[in-house]
Amino acid sequence: MACFQYLSLVCCIIFLHAAGVKSECHLGWNHFEDSCYMFSKDALNWYLAESSCRGHGARLAEVTTKAQSDYLISMVKILNNGNEYWLGGRDDIIEGTWQWASTDKVFTYTAWGPTNPSNNGGDEDCLQLRDFGSVGIKWNDISCQVGIKFICEKQLDSDSSEIIG
Ligand SMILES: [Ca+2]
Ligand SMILES: [Ca+2]
């Protein structure tokens, strides 16, 4: 009887472990709600950053809720390196119309920093997270050609099946 109970416990642990693994992000990716996020160590321009994310079966992070925005900002604070990070927003197709790159959907939620988007020099068409000092980390438009770090995002479900490519 004791042996049977022990085996049941082992089976239960194995089952829970297997179930748990399925809902986790891959090593190096961080789980929030339905997505996995990777904060790059490399600095690339926006276009190469987007390509890099696609190479991981992901996209540049697209922020549609305050909760998601707060999470990403808190992660950037934890990394505490003063770095700026690309997000997947752009207005290079129609100036002043900000869209998410993977869907072309126009922004609904926004978290712009003071006086932004500013389109300085007529050449700020890509979306980054940067530190605005007293108001904290917010959104800024900047030239797409600047080399900075970036945040990739992919669906939690797609992460467990990413073997091909
Ligand atoms: Ca612009
Ligand atoms: Ca700006």
Residue 6: pLDDT band (50, 70, 90) is low
Span 4-32, average pLDDT: 66
* Ligand closest to CA 89: 1
* Ligand closest to CA 118: 2
**CA 33–ligand 2 middle distance (angstroms):** 29
Give the least confident one: 9-23, 43-57, 70-84, 138-152. Answer: 9-23
Taking CA atoms, 39 is separated from 19, 33, 45, 87, 120, in Å, by 26, 16, 15, 11, 27
**CA 142–ligand 2 middle distance (angstroms):** 5
Residue 24 to residue 4: CA distance in whole angstroms: 30
How many residues are there in the chain? 165
**Beta-bridge partners for 155:** 35
pLDDT score for 21: 47
* Ligand closest to CA 139: 2
Span 64-84, average pLDDT: 91
- Residue 13 — φ and ψ, nearest 5°? -65, -45
- The label of the residue with tokens 């994310």 reads 53
**CA 11–ligand 1 middle distance (angstroms):** 57
**CA 57–ligand 2 middle distance (angstroms):** 29
Residue 2: pLDDT band (50, 70, 90) is low
pLDDT at 26 over 60: yes
**CA 96–ligand 2 middle distance (angstroms):** 12
Quick one: what percent of the chain has pLDDT higher than 90?
Answer: 76
pLDDT at 18 over 70: no
pLDDT score for 79: 87
Domains in the chain (CATH in brackets) are: 30-155 (3.10.100.10)
- Residue pLDDT, tens place only, 120-157: 999 999 999 999 999 999 999 999 999 999 999 999 97
Residue 140 to residue 112: CA distance in whole angstroms: 6
pLDDT at 12 over 70: no
Give the least confident one: 21-30, 72-81, 133-142. Answer: 21-30
pLDDT score for 157: 78
